[in-house]
Every structure is written in C-alpha cells, then in structure tokens.
Structure 1
Amino acid sequence: MGRLEYRPAGTYRLEWVYRNRHREPVQVWLALSPDLPTQKVLGLHLTPEPHERTVSPDGLGEMAWYRLAPGEAVRLDATIQTFSVRYSPRGRGPVVPLEPQERELYLRSTGMVTITPEIREEARRLTEGCGTDLEKVHRLAVHMFHHYGYCHPPRARGATAMGRDRRGDCGQFSALFAAWCRFLGIPTRVHLGTWAVGRFQGHAWTECYIEGLGWLPVDISVATVHSKLRRLLRLRHLPSYAFGHLEGQRITFSLKYDRELVPPYPETNPPLADLTMEMGEQPVAFGYQLLHRRAPYLQPAYVRLPEQVESLSRPLTVTDLLGDWRGRHEPWHLRALHAAQVFLFAMAGLAVLATLVPMTDRWLEQRGLKPPDLWMDAAFLAANGIAWFLSRGRSWLPGFLAVFFLFMVLEDLRGR
C-alpha cells in the first residue's frame, strides 16, 4: 500500500481584502482556512471583527459573516505553515481513520460534484479490472491527463459540464475527478485555495481517501497545463507531481464545493444578465443566487451584492465577487533561509554544470561526434527557459536544462 510522507515546506503570510465599492451595503461570507495535514494556521486576524463567526454547519471549519457599508472593507491576515506530501509505495505510516460523517460527506453527489448516469458509466468503464482503490484512482488520473484539456475561463462550471466539454480549469478537473471517485465509493474532497506566493493565484485540487494510506493528493490540471510541451517531447506518462505529491506551496481556503451559509443567504434575481453562468447544470447568478440552497464555492468568500443596477459600481471586477489576496514568504528570517537554500542549490548546480559541459564536449569528440553548434544550444536554451517560465518555477527539470544549455552556449562562444 505504501505511506504518505509529510515534511515542513514553508511559512507564508496571506493577506485578503474585500472592499465594498458600491452605493449600498454588501454581505460577505468568508471561509477561514482550517488546520490540515498539509497546513497549520499559526495565526489569523480579522479587521474589523465579524458580525458573526460560526462553525460551518457541514463541519468544515469556521466561517465569518460581514455586512459592509459603502466604502467599508474587511481584511484577513493569516500566517500559515505548509507541508509537502510525497507518496511512497514502500512501508506503512500512521493513518487517521475517517469518521462516518466525513465519509458520507465526501461520497455525496452535490450541485457542483454531480454523479450523473454518464459519469457513473465512464467511471465504471475506466476502472474495469482494477483491484484496489489506489489502482482505480491512478487509472482515472491517467485517463484524465490524456483525454481532458485545460481551458480558462470555462464556459460552464461543475462536473457535468467538464464531462460534456472535456475542457476546463483546475476547478473543473477537480469536480469531475471527485464525482468519478465518489461514485466508486472512494471519499474525495476538493481543496479550494491558492498558490502560497503571488497575487490572486487561485487554485483547486483533490484528495482521495485510501484505506490504510490516508488522504492522497491528485492534481491533474497542473500536468495538463504543460501537456502540449510534453507531447512535443513525447513524454506521455502521468507526471509524478500530479499524483500523490504536493510541493507545499499552496494554501487551502475551503474543503468542498456547495457550502451551506450562516446566516442564511437572501437570494434574488440579478440586475445584470452577465453575472449568470451555468453551474451544476443550472444558471446561477454569482453574487445573487445559490445552487440548491448552497454557495457554489468559497474561494475564500461568497458575497451578496446590491439589487439595484444604479447601486453597483461599474464595471464589476472579479475582486467585487471574491475579494483580493496576496501570499508571500513569512517571516523575514525564513525568507532569508529560503533564499540561502536556493542560492546554495544554484551554486552546487553551477559547479556540476561547469564540470559537465566540457566533459560532454570531450566525450562527443572522442567518439568522432561533432558537439552541438551555437544555434542548436541556443534553441534548447530558449525552449527550456520558456518551459520553466510557464511552469512558474515549479518544475525543476526545464530550469536545470536551461542552465545546462546556457553553459553550452557560453562554451560555444568561448571556442569561437
């Protein structure tokens, strides 16, 4: 079966702000990040204090509620330690058992994670012949990686839309994958959160509960973002970072779609048609309506906007719906330690490359082969540099190869 290995990855400061830019009050329901095996909330401060702060009715952590006057703002400051996760097929580790109410919650068919007859049939067909839940989850992950594409923003949201369109963003991948697994009796939860560093870097991914193992992370959307480059390089296997692995650079706001709100949300028809999109097989006006009496998702907030068009600040932006946030390394001595680690790793890599490049040229010459010329090395340098940039630095291989070919280019220039 194997085990999941958790290791401290970093400490981050998260700052989230919502400001009411409208001419009437706005209500805000805010999910507060929970403690998880992948994160520990070291400190959390809200300014001002919420009008209500309650434990979520579905047992998924705390929730804060505000009624903001025009021009008023709410701010959240949190310090969160994150942990990386790596699945190892060897040995066994401690496993926290799943409570019956948790199992029922994460097997449920909901508005966004809808288990339709088509989804049932596809999940059953794809996992035919699999012996264990771990094999089923891996089979589904490989299929999704090969047959579903990344697209942002999607035309519609929810598992049904993803199954129909076969294209979507991270939230779409997570919803359909959760629906497949839940139908097969594998408890699956969707993390709605953000990358730990950067401004407004929202992300979603899944965890599947495997008996004897625990919560196994699966994030197919990250792999499909790079799928065109991988096809060009004829790399068709599922990347290891997409299955059973988290790098420890993400923060979870909420653990599922379809959240019940407290106090109750006052639904109404929207004053603008462009706020409506398909969510879970029906039109929903974000900021005015719920999906089956629940907020479609909290990332980290769901708002109730003014009913009158003349009261709305135009144009409406995504920050009017979700707020704005920024993440960074915290505190300063940990940022300095991280920078020192990166510097030492880079120096060690440069030392290896400084030895490897001349050795590569000599090895080729000894076998009567011509070393690559300047233009070929420059092309490989550019290709790997672009690949590393598109991965936002999360994939080390193209970064390493980019530095390698940089040395090759310098060696070519020196030999001219």
Structure 2
Amino acid sequence: MGKTVTVDFFYRNELCEKLEPWMIMPPAIQFNENNVKPDQVTNIPTGEKLGYYILNKDQSLHLNYEIELYSTKNEKKTMTDEERNFYLRNTILSPINTETTKLAKEITSQQKSDHEKARAIFHYIVENYRYIYPPSSRGVHSFLEAKEGDCGEFSFLFTALCRALKIPARTVVGSWAYGKMNAHVWNEFFIEDEGWISVDTSMAYIQKKQPFRFFDSSLKTLHWKKYFGETEGQRVVFSKDTEIELLPKYKNDEEAFTLNPILINGDPFCWGQQSLNGRAPYLQPIYVKYEQNDDSFPLVDTSHLFGTWKIREHGIKRFFKRPKEFLLMIALLTMAFNFVFQSFYLEVTYKLTFIIFFLCFIFRRERIIIFSVFLLVMTLSLLSTLN
C-alpha cells in the first residue's frame, strides 16, 4: 500500500450550457452509476487513452481512483519508428527550429553519446535559467528571451533541445502525490534498450539555488544532481506529453473572449476557448472547451479550467503526515510562551513536540540526515532540561 495513492478529481460545469472536457483516462478507473462516462475514448500515440466528455450546466465529473506512484521502470525499453517520430516532433511549446538546434549543438559540442548530451543540456538549463512562478509567458521562445519561468518552461526547453539532437524526449505532466492541487511538470528522454530516463531541471535548480524551499514540506527531496536520472518517487502522471491532439476535433467556432488571456510565446491565448492547432497545451488533468462571448460571463478561476484534485497517501506516510502541521504550530507557540514566562513545563513541552515533529520527517524518509541531526540536538537539550 505504501506505493499507491488515492486520487480524487472533481470538476463541475458552472460556465455554460454545454462544456467539453478532455482528459487522459486513469488506468485503474471503474465507472458506476454515479460517474459520468466518457462519450468517446481514443487511443493516442503516448500509449494512453484520451477520454472526451460532455457536461451540461451544473453537471459534475468526479473520479476517485487508486494508482501506483509513477516510475519509468514499467515503461518500454524499445520504441517503434512511429513512436520515435512522435517524440521528435516539432511543437509550439517546444519548437525545433534554427535557434533551438543551434543552441543544442553548442551545449553538446564536447559530448558523444545521447546520454551525455542530455546530461549537458540538464546542467546548462539549471545553470542559466531562473525559476519563477507564475511565468510572464509560456513556451520556449519566451523562456529563451526572459531566461526565467516555472517547471513548465524548464521542461519545454529540455524537450526542445533533446529533440533538436534527435533524442526522443517528452514533457511529463502530473502532480506531487500528496495534498491538493500540487501540479508539477518534468521530463523524460529515451535511450534504446535503456528506456525512459527521468530528468527534472526545475527541481534541480530549486535544490541547488533555493535548498530550503521544500524544507518543511511533505516532499522527499534529492541532491540537485540526482534529478538527472531519477526522481524522489512521489509523483502521479496525468499525461505523458504536451500538445496532445484533441479528439473529437476541437472546433474554434466562436471568437475567443476572456478578460485575462495568458501568453504563449508572447501571443494572447484564451485557455479553454482556443487550442494549439487542435491540440491542448497540456492536460493537467483536463483541457476544456467552453463558450464565453461577453464580459457579463461569470469570473473564470483555476477550478473552472483545471478542476480540483486531492491526493491521499496510504500507510505510514499518511499516518505521519497528519500531525506535522499542528505539531510545528504547537512547538512554536509553546516556545514563544516559554521565552516570555520561563516555565519548566513549557520548555519540556516545546522540546518534546519538536522531537515528535522531527520523527515524522524521519519516518516519512524526508531529509533524514538533517532531521536526524535536529532530533539528536533537541533530544540532548530535553535531557539537559530534565536533569
């Protein structure tokens, strides 16, 4: 049970009389009389199944399913010509053009094998771009200009540079496997007979430049260099690439209208009312089509565009996650009161609470070394107080 999680996804059509969502069908999903079933399911080149729904006004799509934490170990080690062409294709978010091809060749001029070329691209991106959220514009073109973006832009560029060198690569769209709406995007590149190899340039950047960003989170982090070749194993996947063709065909019959369009490569894009040549920019976990023609339309927020999801861990990880937040709050409050009132009981309470707090991280295997040091120091401090 420790390697599985439960995903609870919910979407409600509050926007228009008829709304069309597309999403990759979870492999373990089972439908019952309470589920809205897809109107069409299509096999797509990633090996996944693309579901198409029609939701009437106030109708909901609710999927609750158990899934294994994602790993590339179960992925194929060989690739057909059709699959290779798909993962070498030119896209809007990850273009293969003169600029990206020239840059890729410059970065890898000293490397011989595809594996070492991919590693050189990994180091180049980590060293030369800055993580910010949200980015001012989506896509590689904007990322190369601004040299800053979020996990999406880091991933789009890695995909583009690998593909420019004829190395099959994909942008993997998913979520951290705990809590609510913890979206994330990373990469995989393919070596024949080795299979798909994980790469996470944005997490490598954060762990190198902002090492305390995830210090008290429920995420097990790695040394930044290890994000070339592996992940921490706390992820679920919604889609194994971006710019998936939407079937049935996404029709842009109405003129797109929104008060706050996003930018893709500097151009306005109305999410949920436009497509990228019939393709979703990405499915996280859905892409929708709705009609909005004037400014009297209800305010559209993130839940209208992506739905909401919550991921629940199982086993010991879930058991030790629950107390973490309130233990830290109790420890800090009692420590503050002890600073004011200098009470023996308050001092014992806050030190003991910190000890239990540190143990939660250790049992969850999150930053074991540093929290073991904290645990040792606080235990010695508590023993000193008791003596």
TM-score interval (norm. to shorter): 0.7 to 0.9
Structure 2 equivalent of residue 327 of structure 1:
311
Structure 2 equivalent of residue 317 of structure 1:
301
Of residues 230, 236, 259, the one that matches 1:273 is 259
Contact 1:107 1:186 in 2 (8 A): yes
Of residues 273, 281, 284, the one that matches 1:288 is 273
> Quick check: which one's strand share is greater?
1
Cα distance, 1:161 vs structure 2: 1.7
TM-score (norm 1): 0.73
**2:168 aligned with 1:187, yes or no?**
yes
CA distance in 2 between counterparts of 1:181 and 1:148 reads 17
Structure 2 equivalent of residue 113 of structure 1:
94
Contact 1:141 1:243 in 2 (8 A): yes
Structure 2 equivalent of residue 73 of structure 1:
60
Moved more, 278-287 or 108-117: 278-287
Cα distance, 1:162 vs structure 2: 1.6
- TM-align CA RMSD: 3.3
Gaps of 5+ in 2: 214-221, 322-350
Q: How does 1:98-247 map to 2 (within 5 A)?
A: 98-230=79-211, 239-247=224-232
CA distance in 1 between counterparts of 2:292 and 2:78 reads 46
Moved more, 200-209 or 59-68: 59-68
Contact 1:116 1:160 in 2 (8 A): no
Query: How many residues are paired up?
Result: 342
Structure 2 equivalent of residue 358 of structure 1:
none
1:95/1:43 CA distance change after superposition, 3 Å: closer
Secondary structure at 1:273's aligned position in 2?
coil
Secondary structure at 2:3's aligned position in 1?
strand
CA distance in 1 between counterparts of 2:376 and 2:165 reads 46
**2:289 aligned with 1:336, yes or no?**
no
**2:290 aligned with 1:305, yes or no?**
yes
Contact 1:111 1:292 in 2 (8 A): no
**2:78 aligned with 1:97, yes or no?**
yes
CA distance in 2 between counterparts of 1:29 and 1:296 reads 12
1:243/1:43 CA distance change after superposition, 3 Å: same
Secondary structure at 1:269's aligned position in 2?
coil
CA distance in 1 between counterparts of 2:75 and 2:212 reads 38
2:20 counterpart letter in structure 1: Q
1:298/1:339 CA distance change after superposition, 3 Å: closer
Contact 2:175 2:235 in 1 (8 A): yes
Secondary structure at 1:225's aligned position in 2?
helix
Cα distance, 1:113 vs structure 2: 1.0
**2:22 aligned with 1:29, yes or no?**
yes
Cα distance, 1:65 vs structure 2: 1.8
2:291 counterpart letter in structure 1: P
TM-score (norm 2): 0.78
CA distance in 1 between counterparts of 2:376 and 2:225 reads 23
1:137 counterpart letter in structure 2: A
